[in-house]
Amino acid sequence: MSRFVLITADHDFEKLVRTATAGMSGSLQWFKADYLPEGPRDILDQLLGEPPEVFILGPGLNLGESLKLASLMDLQFPEISVVLAATQTAELVLGAMRSGVRDILSPSADVDDIRVMVERASLAAAGRRRGLAPSSAEGAGHGSGGRIIAVMSPKGGVGKTTVATNLAVGLGLVAPMGVVIVDLDLQFGDVGSGLLLDPERTITDAVLGPASQDAMVLKTYLSVHPASIYALCAPRNPVEMDKINAGHVTRLLEQLRHEFQYVVIDTAPGLGEHVLAALECATDAVWVCGMDIPSIRGLRTGLQVLDELQLLPQHRHVILNMADHKSGLALKDVESTIGVPVDIVIPRSRTLPYSTNKGVPLLQDGSRDAAIKGLRLLVNRFKPNWDERSRKQVHRRAVVR
């Protein structure tokens, strides 16, 4: 559950709020944005579990838009307290009072001041919830969990794990500690080595032990990565794959989607039972294709098969990886073969495979490389839909040269 929600592009202020709320129950979800959506529902639909208690509108937001959102929140979700971070003026205090803002917090407040104000807002939210009629509380329920992103490829050797680990690390900047990457290549998974992790527990422990029945236990089975993400790595022994069935995968992903904003799955090549189980749960599929005939034809066949089985997730993202104009193929050749547009083209890079081999994803390392822009564009496709782009742009192609 995200008990507190912060909206601001100010990273320093986010650190203060995260420190202030660290000792409280629940968690903080941060939307890194310098402007607001049209209404509360655009935000609430992207949260996990029940509605939060406190909305903190941080520095850098337009005050008029902030007061408008607070008014809508007060009308539609009166059980949620709104705290506005802005410099107080007589005019602002009057406007905040009329809009239903619970408190005004100074942008220069320290951790202790933030903690006191957030606790006060939480108590006010709890009091309002107790005073609401049951029908109002039921009407506030929303959402079924985080986004499940399956990174797919019918063929191996196209950089699928590299894309998956960079996507997870990139999303970790959007939602710190709100991302988990799951290695579903149960025989030869490389997420552990790609992130330089030596996990104590693997996916086998997670689906066969007590963690399968308790989300709190499951979280203790995850490995923590320095990029503020969690990882659930593949079994140490390939034979353990036989112990894990499709039902285990479904149960695991359902648990994780209610605990994390983003669940990134590095799937095995092909369309085995574990991959199909993941697709049944997935909200998004990232298809990674290399610039070679077998990979392109494999993607076309995979899309056709899944379309017939009605297993294509709601959102599709096609990545052409290791693109090279010297390969003898052009982008239009790839698109005409697979029958769908390519969303992002990532050029061939020497740095990208090297970063994977040393266990530090490119988006974590920060090295300059032509592939970085494409990877960042991929991450941007999963930011909140009101942040930096409109729905109409979701399938607009982004070519990186």
Amino acid identity for residue 201 in this structure: R
- Sheet containing strand 315-323, edge to edge, reads 223-225, 229-232, 179-184, 262-267, 147-152, 284-289, 315-323, 344-347, 398-399
- Name the maximum alpha-carbon separation found in the chain: 69
249 compared with 75, residue with greater pLDDT? 249
Collect all residues with Cβ–Cβ distance below 8 Å to 264 and sequence separation of at least 6.
149, 151, 164, 167, 168, 171, 179, 180, 181, 182
Q: Which two tokens stand for residue 267?
A: 């799937």
Collect all residues with Cβ–Cβ distance below 8 Å to 76 and sequence separation of at least 6.
39, 40, 41
273 and 318 share one domain:
yes
Range of the structural domain that residue 160 is part of: 147-399
- The pLDDT tens digits for 199-230 are 989 999 999 988 888 877 888 889 989 888 99
State residue 392 phi and psi, 5-degree precision: -65, -20
238 and 350 share one domain:
yes
Helix spans in 175-272 (H): 191-194, 203-208, 215-220, 246-257
Distances (CA, A) of 19 to 81, 112, 264: 20, 9, 26
134 and 151 share one domain:
no
Confidence band of 358 (pLDDT split at 50, 70, 90): confident
Confidence band of 49 (pLDDT split at 50, 70, 90): low
- The pLDDT tens digits for 8-31 are 999 999 999 999 888 776 678 899
Angle (deg, nearest 10), helices 370-380 and 160-174: 60
Model pLDDT, residue 314: 82
Q: Write the CATH number for 62.
A: 3.40.50.2300
- The pLDDT tens digits for 294-305 are 889 988 998 888
Q: What is the mean pLDDT of the chain?
A: 84
Domains contained in the chain, number: 2
158 and 96 share one domain:
no
212 and 321 share one domain:
yes
Last residue of a domain, one of 139, 173, 193: 139
* Mean of pLDDT values over 28-57: 85
Last residue of a domain, one of 113, 139, 165: 139
C-alpha 92/C-alpha 79 separation (Å) is 23
353 and 369 share one domain:
yes
Confidence band of 75 (pLDDT split at 50, 70, 90): confident
Distances (CA, A) of 44 to 139, 142, 195: 13, 7, 32
